[in-house]
Amino acid sequence: MVNVSAPKRSSSPLSEFYIRKCIKLLGERWFLGIFTVRVVEKLDILTTDEGGSTELGRTLGFYRFASADSEPSIELAREAIYDGIPLVLRLTPVMVIRFGRILAHEVVHHRIRVLERQCDDSWEERLADRFARYFLFKLCRCPWYRFWRWILSDVAGWHHALGLADLKLGDSKKAQRRFRTAWSLDRENEAAAEAFWWTVGEHGDVGSELKNS
Tens digit of each residue's pLDDT (9 = 90 or more) over 173-195 = 899 999 999 999 998 899 999 99
Classify 36 as helix, strand or coil. Answer: strand
Domain boundaries along the sequence of the chain: 1-139, 143-213
CA distance 180 to 174: 10
Do the bridges between strand 54-55 and strand 61-64 make them parallel or antiparallel, or are there none, so unpaired? unpaired
Measured in whole angstroms, the distance separating CA 35 from the mean position of its chain's CA atoms is 21
Cα–Cα dist 110/106, whole Å: 7
DSSP 8-state assignment for residue 66:
P
Q: Which conformational region is residue 38 in: left (phi greater than 0), alpha (psi within -120 to 50 degrees), or beta? A: beta
pTM of the model: 0.83
Range among 48-57, 75-84, 135-144 with highest mean pLDDT value:
135-144
Asked whether the predicted pLDDT for residue 59 surpasses 90, the reply is no
Please report which confidence band the pLDDT of residue 209 belongs to, taking 50, 70 and 90 as the band edges: very low
pLDDT at 30 over 70: yes
* Distance in angstroms (rounded) separating the CA atoms of residues 184 and 129: 13
> Would you tell me the crossing angle of helices 143-168 and 121-139 to the nearest 10 degrees?
120
SS3 209: coil
The whole-number average pLDDT for the span 52-63 is 62
Yes or no: say if 155 and 84 are a contact pair by the CB < 8 Å rule: yes
Stretch 2-15: mean pLDDT: 70
Q: Quick one: pLDDT band at residue 54, thresholds 50, 70, 90?
A: very low
Among residues 101, 89, 93, 59, the alpha carbon closest in space to that of 76 is found at: 59
CATH class, domain 1-139, is: alpha beta
pLDDT, residue 201, reads: 77
